[in-house]
Amino acid sequence: MRFIILRLRRLLLVMFLVSLLTFVLVNWLPGDVAYQKAGMEASKELVQSIRQELGLDQPVLLRFVKWLGAFVTGDWGRSFLTGEDVREAILSRFPVSFELMILAQLIALGLALPLGIISATRAGGLADRAIAVFAFFSLSIPSFMGAILLITFFSLLLGLLPATDYQPLSAGLWANLRSFILPALSIALVEWTVLMRVLRAEMIGVLQEVYILVARAKGLPRWRIIFFHALRPSLFTMITILGLQVGGLLGGSLIVESIFALPGVGRLLIQAIYSRDFMIIQGVVTFIALVYVLVNFLVDMLYAVLDPRIRMEADHG
Amino acid sequence: MKTKKLGALAVAATLAFCLLLTLPGAAWAQKRGGTLTVGLESEPQGFDAAVVGTGDGSTQTVALAIHDTLLWRDTTQGKLLPMVAASHAFTEDKKKLIFKIREGMKFHDGTPFTAHALVFFWNRILDPNSKNTIRPFMGPIQGVSAPDDHTFQFELKHPWLALFKNLGGANLTSAIPSPKALESGTQQRHPVGAGPFRFKSWTGGDRIVLERNPDYWDAEHVYLDQVVFRFLPDEQARYAGLKSGELDVIWTDRGISIEKAKSDPELTVLEKEGLGGTIYIMNTTKPPLDNPQVRQALAHAFNQEALRKVVYRNTRPFIRHPFGPESTCDSHYREHDPTRARALLAEYGQPVTLESLHTNNSRGQESAALIQQFFGDVGVQVKPVLFDQTTYFKKILTGDFVFSGWRIGDMAGIEPQLSALTHSQSSYNITRYKSPEIDKLLTEYRTADTEEKSDALGCQLIQRVNDAATMFFGTGNHYYVLTRKNVKNVQIAISNGVIRIAEAWKE
């Protein structure tokens, strides 16, 4: 319990600092949304009146306090440019980014787990070297390039999967999944290699532990030693990285979202940054930070489940 | 004998077939039903003109499908066609513009479309508290009124031809929304008009879906059941979507895609030349550009032909004035002449260095590099400075620049923009050049009561601008829309390259 309270306290502090820093830094950015809103033929008077209307003439900290007060009561403000409700804008796009992230990580794990185990158990062998070559080749292609290659091959040449035809879940499960396969694959092709390399390195170490030797001496089958005794302690670093990747992907898959025309959070953020739409930027960054710390909070919890020593250390101070 | 008869029959059949082919496509091959998917460059900003001003090209494209306009400028011949207004007339002194509104029309929310709806809409735009960016350009409008349900009139301070010309355009001041939607504050995100398609849904970041309006006054010429506008900022993604058949129509300004599409048997390239164009502006209050000889030298050093080739891959026209391809104005344009530029700089007698302001996108970077090269060729040292769009706007509008790229927007009636850009008292006079002669000319230009007078005075104005070299022309506006071969009758509006799909169909 004490372990959970400690982590939650840290979570709230991180959230406050992230939102404050974002607010201050975004306001320091050069450029002014009032000029964007007023357009190319704007007069000074019009720009000034828009600044007043948006409250941009008030001190930054005062605006932050107002924003924070409203945010905790569920009012995340409205887009300076379009008047769209920020909370609605984020929550309507979040499922898209979330689904993309989950599918990308599932594909990445689907590749990393078996190939990582094969690599570790046959370290230095032909299979290990072949997997390493494939991994470095995959890693060396940036996700945007991978996305374009996948579109060219699967959409334009073979006509098997859509290039830009995003379909929500309400259009049917298969229609929805079809529109996510290529984007998720283009992310996974970069992500899986990191997971695989980490798993391989950890497992090679674990396989040399005394208790594995004992298990072998007891005559346990090889697959049982690997899956029941070696895999669990080899997963710690991989889970940490998975947690970091999850947070990063939620707001960071904007290039892939743009190429495949997925209406996700990343695209919303990048458009807001270009147009200096502070309320959207503030809302999205705070939201991503919230998801990020929550995911990493869950990862911490998972550590405690995987290793009772962590739980006990925290409980006993 | 029999062979002769058969021969005559064959000739007659061939002639009839050829005759059929010469008929306009719209007259014989329309197919009803289906969904048209259009790939737009950006998500619309909203549909309340008092909030978003005139709107960008994407906003205007969607607005034009939902709303109706008083008039419509025919995209082939440029004539103004009746739409909501069945007829129109000026009073003799040209200080009143009167429209007779069609009877029996309804907005999509069921409320009647009368002249009072137009009065409500225009009063909202003309309200001094309105944030509408176009309001400052509407100075000559004294007021609007509706003597009866089907008569709407503009009362003007003086004859003002530009208003009439621009009412046939596609911007948000032409697209007429339901007063009920405006009053309830829903128009911005849930637009209600009286146009050929009704708003169905808007998924943020993804798409807007419209459905056919069976009650439209010209429903007979609306063929599609549904139109989907998808927002795809990435141009390559739009093109890939068009090629794979997920999109039927896309807007583009990328030379590579246009070239590829022209040689692709599956695609059709639609194009339209517009008015206005890109310009380069000089801050005449800042040295060394406060000296006319330096400004004239830079105008001669600029190589529009090279810019067209390198930056736009010949997809935009060479222009000498902003009045479009039909105008015969001799604008005193300063042709590319490095020798003359060097001579002018020699007369000036001092080394010239300056900062050249551009946006930090790929177009801005290419343009900055070329300007540096053009001016460097005549001995002017240029330091390019690149900023994001909002900072760029701010620097231009507050006069914090020496030399920069800019544009004259594409409007059928271009006078309001030229007045704002060049009048001494205008807050939008971004070159800061003040000339009583130009001011006097602008007054005559603005109040001209015939097309001929207006055209001649507009030309004289550009002559003065080119003489003083406060700005020079980059390239003209030219718009491209790519469609799948089975898509027919998509039109590009005369202004801004807005896509009109009201009468389109799919084979």
Asked whether the beta carbons of residue B238 and residue A260 sit closer than 8 angstroms, the reply is no
**Domain shared by A32 and A112, yes or no:** no
Q: Which whole-number Å values give the CA distances from B367 to B179, B359, B374, B406, in the listed order? A: 44, 9, 10, 11
pLDDT tens sequence across A184-201 = 999 999 889 999 999 999
**Distance, CA of B382 to CA of B373 (rounded, Å):** 8
**Domain shared by A131 and A258, yes or no:** yes
**Distance, CA of B475 to CA of B405 (rounded, Å):** 11
- Which residues from chain B sit within 8 angstroms of residue A81, using beta carbons? 45, 52
Nearest to B330 by CA among B317, B321, B343: B321
Question: From A43, which residue of chain B is nearest by alpha-carbon distance?
Answer: B427
Residue bearing the bigger pLDDT, B54 or B314: B314
Give SS3 for A214.
helix
pLDDT of residue B399: 92
- Range A259-287 average pLDDT: 88
Residue bearing the bigger pLDDT, A300 or B311: B311
Smallest CA–CA separation between B220 and chain A, in Å? 31
Question: From B416, which residue of chain A is nearest by alpha-carbon distance?
Answer: A41
Asked whether the beta carbons of residue A271 and residue B240 sit closer than 8 angstroms, the reply is no
pLDDT of residue B357: 96
Partner residue facing B247 (CB), from A33, A164, A276: A164
Partner residue facing A83 (CB), from B51, B54, B244: B51
Residue bearing the bigger pLDDT, B147 or A266: B147
Asked whether the beta carbons of residue B189 and residue A45 sit closer than 8 angstroms, the reply is no
Question: From A30, which residue of chain B is nearest by alpha-carbon distance?
Answer: B391
pLDDT of residue A292: 82
CATH number of the domain where residue A202 is located: 1.10.3720.10
pLDDT of residue A314: 58
Examine the fold and report which residue of A38, A72, A106 is the final residue of a domain before the chain moves on.
Answer: A72
Partner residue facing B390 (CB), from A31, A92, A159: A31
Partner residue facing B394 (CB), from A31, A45, A162: A31
Please report the ipTM that was assigned to this predicted complex.
Answer: 0.75
A255 pLDDT more than 60: yes
Q: 34-93 in B: which are within 8 Å (CB) of A?
A: 39, 42-43, 45-46, 51-54
Radius of gyration of chain A (CA): 24
Assess B397–A contact: CB distance below 8 Å, yes or no: yes
pLDDT of residue B254: 87
Q: Which of the residue ranges A128-137, B167-176, B193-202, B358-367 would you say has the lowest mean pLDDT?
A: B167-176
**Domain shared by A59 and A98, yes or no:** no
pLDDT of residue B24: 45
B283 pLDDT more than 90: yes
Asked whether the beta carbons of residue B234 and residue A258 sit closer than 8 angstroms, the reply is yes
**Distance, CA of B486 to CA of B266 (rounded, Å):** 9
pLDDT tens sequence across A217-245 = 998 888 899 888 888 888 888 888 887 78
**Domain shared by A42 and A119, yes or no:** no
Radius of gyration of chain B (CA): 25
Partner residue facing B393 (CB), from A35, A93, A260: A35
Partner residue facing A43 (CB), from B188, B393, B428: B428
In-domain check, residue A127: yes
**Domain shared by A183 and A231, yes or no:** yes
Question: From B418, which residue of chain A is nearest by alpha-carbon distance?
Answer: A41
Question: From A151, which residue of chain B is nearest by alpha-carbon distance?
Answer: B240
Quick one: which H or E segment has residue B96?
strand B96-101
- Range A70-88 average pLDDT: 88
pLDDT of residue B27: 47
pLDDT of residue B132: 73
**Domain shared by A167 and A58, yes or no:** no
**What φ, ψ does residue B278 adopt, rounded to 5°?**
-80, 150
Q: Which of the residue ranges A176-190, A282-296, B331-345 would you say has the lowest mean pLDDT?
A: A282-296
Greatest mean pLDDT among A118-122, A142-146, A225-229, A256-260 lies in A118-122
Structure token pair of residue B376: 């460097």
Smallest CA–CA separation between A31 and chain B, in Å? 4
- Which residues from chain B sit within 8 angstroms of residue A39, using beta carbons? 53-54, 133
Smallest CA–CA separation between A270 and chain B, in Å? 11
Give SS3 for B482.
strand
Q: Which of the residue ranges A126-130, A210-214, B48-52 would you say has the lowest mean pLDDT?
A: B48-52
CB pairs under 8 A between A and B: 145
pLDDT band at B13 (very low <50, low <70, confident <90, very high): low
Asked whether the beta carbons of residue A39 and residue B54 sit closer than 8 angstroms, the reply is yes
Domains held by chain A: number: 2
Q: Which residues pair with B148 in a beta bridge?
A: B151
Residue bearing the bigger pLDDT, B245 or A52: B245
- A268 in Cβ contact with A88 (< 8 Å): no
Which string of b and e fits A266-284 if b means at least 16 CB within 10 Å? bbbbbbbbebbbbbbbbbb
Asked whether the beta carbons of residue A148 and residue B236 sit closer than 8 angstroms, the reply is yes
- Which residues from chain B sit within 8 angstroms of residue A259, using beta carbons? 234, 236-237
Assess B230–A contact: CB distance below 8 Å, yes or no: yes
Examine the fold and report which residue of A72, A100, A123 is the final residue of a domain before the chain moves on.
Answer: A72
Question: From A167, which residue of chain B is nearest by alpha-carbon distance?
Answer: B206
Annotate B221-282 with three-state secondary structure: HCCCCEEEEEECCCHHHHHHHHHCCCCCEEEECCHHHHHHHHCCCCEEEEEEEEEEEEEEEE
**Domain shared by A152 and A292, yes or no:** yes
- Which residues from chain A sit within 8 angstroms of residue B243, using beta carbons? 156, 163
Q: Would you give the end-to-end CA distance of chain B in angstroms? A: 42
Question: CA angle, B315 as apex, B314 and B316 as ends, to 5°?
Answer: 95
A141 pLDDT more than 70: yes
**Distance, CA of B67 to CA of B72 (rounded, Å):** 12
B338 pLDDT more than 50: yes
- Which residues from chain A sit within 8 angstroms of residue B409, using beta carbons? 40-41
In-domain check, residue A81: no
pLDDT tens sequence across B60-115 = 999 999 999 998 887 776 778 888 999 999 999 999 999 999 999 999 999 999 99
**Domain shared by A68 and A93, yes or no:** no
pLDDT of residue B371: 96
- Which residues from chain A sit within 8 angstroms of residue B46, using beta carbons? 82-83
Structure token pair of residue B15: 């002639």
Q: What does the mean pLDDT of chain B come to?
A: 90
pLDDT tens sequence across B106-146 = 999 999 999 999 999 999 888 877 777 777 788 899 999 99
Return the amino acid letter for B79.
K
Q: By percentage, how much of chain B surpasses pLDDT 90? A: 68
- Range A261-286 average pLDDT: 88
B495 pLDDT more than 80: no
pLDDT of residue B234: 84
B22 pLDDT more than 60: no
**Domain shared by A60 and A134, yes or no:** no
A258 pLDDT more than 90: no
pLDDT of residue B115: 96
**Distance, CA of A282 to CA of A262 (rounded, Å):** 21
Cβ contacts of residue B106 below 8 Å, gap of 6+? B112, B113, B194, B215
pLDDT of residue B497: 81
Partner residue facing A260 (CB), from B51, B237, B393: B237
pLDDT of residue B113: 95
Assess B200–A contact: CB distance below 8 Å, yes or no: no
- Range B280-308 average pLDDT: 96
Domains of chain B: 35-234+485-506 (3.40.190.10), 275-478 (3.10.105.10)
Question: From B129, which residue of chain A is nearest by alpha-carbon distance?
Answer: A49
**Domain shared by A122 and A266, yes or no:** yes
In-domain check, residue A84: no
pLDDT band at B26 (very low <50, low <70, confident <90, very high): very low
Q: Which of the residue ranges A166-170, B34-38, B315-319 would you say has the lowest mean pLDDT?
A: A166-170
User: pTM of the prediction?
Assistant: 0.83
In-domain check, residue A77: no
**Domain shared by A210 and A299, yes or no:** yes
Asked whether the beta carbons of residue B204 and residue A38 sit closer than 8 angstroms, the reply is no
Burial class (CB in 10 A: 0-12, 13-18, 19+), A212: middle
Interface test with A, best of B244, B247, B385 (most A CBs within 10 A): B244
Residue bearing the bigger pLDDT, B301 or A171: B301
**Distance, CA of A86 to CA of A76 (rounded, Å):** 6
In-domain check, residue A82: no
Strand bridging mode B35-40 / B249-252 = parallel
Smallest CA–CA separation between A266 and chain B, in Å? 10
Q: Which of the residue ranges A59-73, A247-261, B292-306 would you say has the lowest mean pLDDT?
A: A247-261
**Domain shared by A196 and A302, yes or no:** yes
pLDDT of residue B183: 93
pLDDT of residue A251: 63
Interface test with B, best of A48, A85, A150, A164 (most B CBs within 10 A): A164
- Which residues from chain A sit within 8 angstroms of residue B406, using beta carbons? 40
- Which residues from chain B sit within 8 angstroms of residue A38, using beta carbons? 53, 131, 133, 393
Greatest mean pLDDT among B28-32, B55-59, B469-473, B495-499 lies in B469-473
Q: What are the start-end ranges of the E strands in chain A?
A: none
pLDDT tens sequence across B439-478 = 999 999 999 989 899 999 999 999 999 999 999 999 999 9
Assess B391–A contact: CB distance below 8 Å, yes or no: yes
Question: From B37, which residue of chain A is nearest by alpha-carbon distance?
Answer: A165
**Number of neighbours of residue A32 by Cβ within 10 angstroms:** 22
pLDDT band at B25 (very low <50, low <70, confident <90, very high): very low
pLDDT band at A181 (very low <50, low <70, confident <90, very high): very high
In-domain check, residue A185: yes
Asked whether the beta carbons of residue B244 and residue A155 sit closer than 8 angstroms, the reply is yes
- Range B11-19 average pLDDT: 53
Q: Which domain holds residue A55?
A: 2-72
- Which residues from chain B sit within 8 angstroms of residue A42, using beta carbons? 133, 393, 397, 428
Question: From B417, which residue of chain A is nearest by alpha-carbon distance?
Answer: A41
Q: What does the mean pLDDT of chain A come to?
A: 86
pLDDT tens sequence across B181-216 = 999 989 999 999 999 999 999 988 899 999 999 999
Smallest CA–CA separation between B260 and chain A, in Å? 15
B12 pLDDT more than 60: no
Asked whether the beta carbons of residue A168 and residue B45 sit closer than 8 angstroms, the reply is no
Q: 109-148 in B: which are within 8 Å (CB) of A?
A: 131, 133-134, 136-137
pLDDT of residue B482: 97
Q: Which of the residue ranges B1-15, B154-168, B351-365, B491-505 would you say has the lowest mean pLDDT?
A: B1-15
- Range B351-374 average pLDDT: 92
In-domain check, residue A24: yes
- Range B159-179 average pLDDT: 85
- Range B383-405 average pLDDT: 91
In-domain check, residue A160: yes
